[in-house]
Protein backbone atom coordinates (compact mmCIF):
# COMPACT_ATOMS: atom_id res chain seq x y z
CA UNK A 1 0.00 0.00 0.00
CA UNK A 2 2.68 2.51 0.99
CA UNK A 3 4.65 2.01 -2.21
CA UNK A 4 1.50 2.45 -4.29
CA UNK A 5 0.63 5.70 -2.52
CA UNK A 6 4.21 6.92 -3.02
CA UNK A 7 4.04 6.17 -6.74
CA UNK A 8 0.78 8.07 -7.18
CA UNK A 9 1.99 11.07 -5.15
CA UNK A 10 5.21 11.21 -7.17
CA UNK A 11 3.15 11.37 -10.36
CA UNK A 12 1.07 14.19 -8.86
CA UNK A 13 4.29 16.08 -8.17
CA UNK A 14 4.83 16.43 -11.91
CA UNK A 15 1.86 18.82 -12.04
CA UNK A 16 3.51 21.03 -9.43
CA UNK A 17 6.86 21.04 -11.22
CA UNK A 18 5.34 21.78 -14.63
CA UNK A 19 3.13 24.63 -13.39
CA UNK A 20 3.41 27.86 -15.37
CA UNK A 21 1.49 31.14 -15.19
CA UNK A 22 0.50 30.37 -11.63
CA UNK A 23 -0.50 33.90 -10.58
CA UNK A 24 -3.03 34.17 -13.40
CA UNK A 25 -4.58 30.89 -12.30
CA UNK A 26 -4.89 31.77 -8.62
CA UNK A 27 -8.08 32.69 -6.77
CA UNK A 28 -8.95 33.90 -3.29
CA UNK A 29 -11.16 31.73 -1.13
CA UNK A 30 -11.96 33.43 2.18
CA UNK A 31 -9.28 36.16 2.02
CA UNK A 32 -6.10 37.31 0.32
CA UNK A 33 -4.20 34.94 2.63
CA UNK A 34 -6.39 31.97 1.67
CA UNK A 35 -5.58 31.01 -1.90
CA UNK A 36 -6.33 28.18 -4.28
CA UNK A 37 -4.84 27.64 -7.72
CA UNK A 38 -5.95 25.61 -10.68
CA UNK A 39 -2.98 23.37 -9.90
CA UNK A 40 -4.26 22.61 -6.38
CA UNK A 41 -7.50 21.47 -7.99
CA UNK A 42 -5.71 19.47 -10.68
CA UNK A 43 -3.55 17.64 -8.15
CA UNK A 44 -6.51 16.92 -5.89
CA UNK A 45 -8.62 15.64 -8.78
CA UNK A 46 -5.78 13.36 -9.86
CA UNK A 47 -5.38 11.99 -6.33
CA UNK A 48 -9.14 11.61 -5.95
CA UNK A 49 -9.15 9.45 -9.07
CA UNK A 50 -6.08 7.36 -8.28
CA UNK A 51 -6.06 6.84 -4.50
CA UNK A 52 -9.52 5.41 -3.57
CA UNK A 53 -9.16 2.30 -5.79
CA UNK A 54 -6.19 1.29 -3.61
CA UNK A 55 -8.55 0.91 -0.65
CA UNK A 56 -12.13 0.16 -1.80
CA UNK A 57 -14.68 1.84 0.44
CA UNK A 58 -12.29 4.55 1.62
CA UNK A 59 -13.65 8.09 1.64
CA UNK A 60 -11.70 11.05 0.27
CA UNK A 61 -11.17 13.98 2.65
CA UNK A 62 -9.35 16.73 0.73
CA UNK A 63 -8.64 20.38 1.38
CA UNK A 64 -10.59 21.49 -1.68
CA UNK A 65 -13.30 18.82 -1.73
CA UNK A 66 -14.20 16.55 1.17
CA UNK A 67 -17.47 14.91 0.00
CA UNK A 68 -18.80 15.55 3.54
CA UNK A 69 -16.52 12.69 4.56
CA UNK A 70 -15.94 11.63 8.16
CA UNK A 71 -12.26 10.65 8.43
CA UNK A 72 -12.78 9.24 11.92
CA UNK A 73 -14.86 6.28 10.72
CA UNK A 74 -13.63 3.53 8.45
CA UNK A 75 -10.85 4.09 5.96
CA UNK A 76 -10.16 7.63 4.75
CA UNK A 77 -7.62 9.32 2.51
CA UNK A 78 -6.76 12.73 3.99
CA UNK A 79 -5.18 14.94 1.33
CA UNK A 80 -3.58 18.35 0.96
CA UNK A 81 -2.85 18.68 -2.77
CA UNK A 82 -0.40 21.57 -2.30
CA UNK A 83 0.54 22.41 1.26
CA UNK A 84 2.11 25.86 1.15
CA UNK A 85 -0.05 27.33 -1.61
CA UNK A 86 1.14 30.89 -0.96
CA UNK A 87 4.75 29.71 -1.32
CA UNK A 88 3.73 27.96 -4.55
CA UNK A 89 2.09 31.08 -5.98
CA UNK A 90 5.09 33.25 -5.14
CA UNK A 91 7.69 30.83 -6.51
CA UNK A 92 9.33 30.17 -3.13
CA UNK A 93 9.53 26.42 -3.89
CA UNK A 94 8.64 25.39 -0.35
CA UNK A 95 5.50 23.30 -0.88
CA UNK A 96 4.49 19.68 -0.62
CA UNK A 97 1.82 17.12 -1.43
CA UNK A 98 0.52 15.43 1.72
CA UNK A 99 -1.46 12.17 1.77
CA UNK A 100 -2.52 10.15 4.81
CA UNK A 101 -4.57 6.97 4.91
CA UNK A 102 -6.40 6.57 8.22
CA UNK A 103 -8.59 3.85 9.70
CA UNK A 104 -11.16 4.75 12.36
CA UNK A 105 -9.35 7.98 13.15
CA UNK A 106 -5.82 6.54 13.36
CA UNK A 107 -3.35 7.34 10.57
CA UNK A 108 -1.89 4.11 9.21
CA UNK A 109 0.10 5.48 6.24
CA UNK A 110 1.60 8.90 5.63
CA UNK A 111 3.37 10.39 2.61
CA UNK A 112 4.71 13.94 2.22
CA UNK A 113 6.44 14.81 -1.04
CA UNK A 114 8.51 17.90 -1.78
CA UNK A 115 8.75 17.80 -5.60
CA UNK A 116 11.23 20.68 -5.75
CA UNK A 117 13.84 18.78 -3.73
CA UNK A 118 12.55 15.36 -4.82
CA UNK A 119 12.24 14.42 -1.15
CA UNK A 120 9.69 11.70 -0.42
CA UNK A 121 8.92 11.29 3.27
CA UNK A 122 6.88 8.22 4.17
CA UNK A 123 5.77 6.10 7.09
CA UNK A 124 3.60 3.13 7.95
CA UNK A 125 2.32 2.67 11.50
CA UNK A 126 4.74 0.38 13.27
CA UNK A 127 7.05 0.30 10.26
CA UNK A 128 9.30 3.33 10.79
CA UNK A 129 9.78 6.54 8.82
CA UNK A 130 11.79 7.10 5.67
CA UNK A 131 13.19 9.77 3.36
CA UNK A 132 13.61 8.52 -0.19
CA UNK A 133 13.59 4.98 1.15
CA UNK A 134 16.20 5.49 3.86
CA UNK A 135 15.27 5.38 7.57
CA UNK A 136 15.11 8.70 9.41
CA UNK A 137 15.14 9.57 13.11
CA UNK A 138 14.47 12.67 15.14
CA UNK A 139 17.49 14.49 16.58
CA UNK A 140 18.88 14.14 20.09
CA UNK A 141 19.52 17.85 20.56
CA UNK A 142 17.92 19.68 23.48
CA UNK A 143 16.15 22.95 22.72
CA UNK A 144 19.12 24.89 24.12
CA UNK A 145 21.16 23.58 21.19
CA UNK A 146 18.31 23.42 18.75
CA UNK A 147 16.23 25.17 16.12
CA UNK A 148 12.44 25.11 16.17
CA UNK A 149 9.81 25.64 13.52
CA UNK A 150 6.55 27.51 13.98
CA UNK A 151 3.43 28.41 12.05
CA UNK A 152 1.27 31.51 12.39
CA UNK A 153 -2.26 30.14 11.90
CA UNK A 154 -2.97 32.70 9.19
CA UNK A 155 -6.67 31.78 8.96
CA UNK A 156 -7.19 32.31 12.69
CA UNK A 157 -5.63 35.68 13.47
CA UNK A 158 -6.91 35.55 17.05
CA UNK A 159 -3.96 33.24 17.72
CA UNK A 160 -1.41 35.92 16.83
CA UNK A 161 -0.62 36.99 20.39
CA UNK A 162 -0.27 33.50 21.91
CA UNK A 163 1.80 32.44 18.87
CA UNK A 164 4.22 35.32 19.34
CA UNK A 165 4.33 34.74 23.10
CA UNK A 166 5.20 31.07 22.67
CA UNK A 167 7.73 31.90 19.95
CA UNK A 168 9.45 34.37 22.27
CA UNK A 169 9.66 31.82 25.07
CA UNK A 170 11.19 29.19 22.82
CA UNK A 171 13.51 31.64 21.05
CA UNK A 172 15.02 32.68 24.37
CA UNK A 173 15.87 29.03 25.06
CA UNK A 174 17.01 27.98 21.57
CA UNK A 175 19.52 28.84 18.85
CA UNK A 176 16.96 30.09 16.32
CA UNK A 177 13.61 29.43 14.67
CA UNK A 178 12.13 29.04 11.18
CA UNK A 179 8.74 29.93 9.71
CA UNK A 180 8.56 28.08 6.38
CA UNK A 181 4.86 28.23 5.49
CA UNK A 182 4.22 24.54 4.88
CA UNK A 183 3.29 22.59 8.01
CA UNK A 184 3.66 19.17 6.42
CA UNK A 185 7.31 19.95 5.63
CA UNK A 186 7.82 21.50 9.07
CA UNK A 187 6.76 18.20 10.62
CA UNK A 188 9.05 16.24 8.32
CA UNK A 189 11.95 18.51 9.30
CA UNK A 190 11.40 17.42 12.91
CA UNK A 191 11.17 13.79 11.81
CA UNK A 192 14.53 13.80 10.04
CA UNK A 193 16.33 15.84 12.69
CA UNK A 194 16.70 19.12 10.84
CA UNK A 195 14.76 20.90 13.59
CA UNK A 196 14.02 19.87 17.16
CA UNK A 197 10.38 20.88 17.44
CA UNK A 198 7.48 22.56 15.67
CA UNK A 199 4.24 24.15 16.83
CA UNK A 200 1.20 25.86 15.40
CA UNK A 201 -2.04 26.91 17.09
CA UNK A 202 -4.47 25.85 14.40
CA UNK A 203 -4.01 23.29 11.63
CA UNK A 204 -6.51 21.37 9.54
CA UNK A 205 -6.36 17.56 9.45
CA UNK A 206 -4.85 17.51 5.96
CA UNK A 207 -2.03 19.80 7.14
CA UNK A 208 -0.85 17.44 9.89
CA UNK A 209 -2.22 13.91 9.36
CA UNK A 210 0.62 12.47 7.28
CA UNK A 211 3.39 14.51 8.89
CA UNK A 212 2.36 13.60 12.43
CA UNK A 213 2.66 9.88 11.68
CA UNK A 214 6.06 10.44 10.07
CA UNK A 215 7.25 12.23 13.23
CA UNK A 216 6.08 9.50 15.57
CA UNK A 217 7.47 6.71 13.41
CA UNK A 218 10.81 8.58 13.38
CA UNK A 219 10.85 8.36 17.17
CA UNK A 220 9.29 11.74 17.90
CA UNK A 221 6.38 12.96 19.97
CA UNK A 222 3.18 14.67 18.77
CA UNK A 223 0.23 16.16 20.65
CA UNK A 224 -1.88 19.32 20.79
CA UNK A 225 -0.63 22.32 22.74
CA UNK A 226 -3.05 21.20 25.44
CA UNK A 227 -1.27 17.85 25.62
CA UNK A 228 -4.09 15.91 23.96
CA UNK A 229 -4.08 13.59 20.89
CA UNK A 230 -4.45 15.24 17.50
CA UNK A 231 -7.84 15.06 15.81
CA UNK A 232 -8.68 14.22 12.21
CA UNK A 233 -12.16 15.77 12.25
CA UNK A 234 -11.44 19.44 12.90
CA UNK A 235 -8.73 22.03 13.34
CA UNK A 236 -6.40 21.56 16.28
CA UNK A 237 -3.12 22.89 17.61
CA UNK A 238 0.02 20.84 17.03
CA UNK A 239 3.21 20.29 19.00
CA UNK A 240 5.84 17.97 17.53
CA UNK A 241 9.26 17.35 19.02
CA UNK A 242 12.06 14.89 19.55
CA UNK A 243 11.97 12.90 22.78
CA UNK A 244 14.59 15.10 24.44
CA UNK A 245 12.21 18.07 24.26
CA UNK A 246 9.00 16.17 24.95
CA UNK A 247 8.48 17.82 28.33
CA UNK A 248 9.43 21.35 27.25
CA UNK A 249 5.76 21.98 26.44
CA UNK A 250 4.88 21.59 30.14
CA UNK A 251 7.37 24.34 31.04
CA UNK A 252 5.85 26.97 28.74
CA UNK A 253 3.03 29.46 29.01
CA UNK A 254 0.77 28.31 26.18
pLDDT per residue as tens digits for the range 108-145: 999 999 999 999 999 999 999 999 999 999 999 999 99
Query: Where in the chain are all domains bearing CATH 3.30.540.10?
Result: 2-135
Residue 26 above 80 pLDDT?
A: yes
Count of CA atoms in the C-beta half-sphere (13 A) of 87: 18
Read off the pTM.
Answer: 0.96
Q: Is CATH 3.40.190.80 the classification given to domain 143-251? A: yes
**2-135 architecture in CATH?**
2-Layer Sandwich (3.30)
Confidence of residue 153 (pLDDT cuts 50, 70, 90): confident
Mean pLDDT, rounded, for 22-47:
91
Confidence of residue 243 (pLDDT cuts 50, 70, 90): very high
Amino acid sequence: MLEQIISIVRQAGETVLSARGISARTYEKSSAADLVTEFDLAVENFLKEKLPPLCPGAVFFGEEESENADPSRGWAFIVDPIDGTTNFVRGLKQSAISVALACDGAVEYGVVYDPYKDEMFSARRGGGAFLNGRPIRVSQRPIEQGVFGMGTAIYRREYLEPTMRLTEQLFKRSCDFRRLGAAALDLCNVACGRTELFFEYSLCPWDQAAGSLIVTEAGGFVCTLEGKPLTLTDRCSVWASNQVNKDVLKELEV
